[in-house]
Amino acid sequence: MKYFSELEHMLTRFLRELSDTNTNNLAYELRNIMGMRDKNGNVVLEPISDLQRVSEWLHLIANQANRHRTSDFLDIAKALNLAGTQYWWFCYNLQNRLQGIAAQELLNEPDLRKVKLAWNNGREGANRFLVDWSELIERINRESIESVGGTDRSALKTIE
């Protein structure tokens, strides 16, 4: 399939997006607020095991993708799109949680600034990745005999 190399490139980019050792991505930004507690003593952000699970899944998919078998292409694209959807849901749920914490004033001002900065810096890269990913999936869907999944995801918002 003509999109195999683009799919592999996006897979590599996705793994970087999920790594907290690469700067300028959401996972890296979020590690700075993990374990922070709100005024009620609740943890604002638990360790992000959801991102670790998606990353582990991507490594398994990468092993299959490395074989470059045309017969595997649609399954790989579907699995990657499902992983992308899981990543978007993680981000979307976190966005809603952080917006609620900000709206309810559950953090002191310095911690709230730190949370907003982490989210707002990280979400920009996440949005760029998700848009690029959606565009690739849409191109594959247009030219494929079978859909590899939907891409209807709203952009992640700034936390004010």
Tell me the C-alpha distance between 109 and 42, whole Å. Answer: 16
Q: Which residues form the domain of 41?
A: 4-143
Tell me the C-alpha distance between 74 and 84, whole Å. Answer: 15
Tens-digit pLDDT profile for residues 107-128: 999 999 999 999 999 999 999 9
Residue 143, pLDDT > 80, answer yes
Instruction: Assess if residue 77 is contained within a domain.
Output: yes
Tens-digit pLDDT profile for residues 22-67: 877 898 888 888 889 999 999 888 767 888 899 999 999 988 888 8
Instruction: Assess if residue 66 is contained within a domain.
Output: yes
Instruction: Assess if residue 115 is contained within a domain.
Output: yes
Q: What is the number of domains present in the chain?
A: 1
Residue 144, pLDDT > 80, answer yes
Tens-digit pLDDT profile for residues 61-88: 988 888 888 888 999 999 999 999 999 9
pTM of the model: 0.90
Instruction: Assess if residue 125 is contained within a domain.
Output: yes
Instruction: Assess if residue 107 is contained within a domain.
Output: yes
* Residue 83 vs residues 12, 27, 64, 150: alpha-carbon distances, Å: 13, 15, 15, 12
Residue 21, domain CATH: 1.20.120
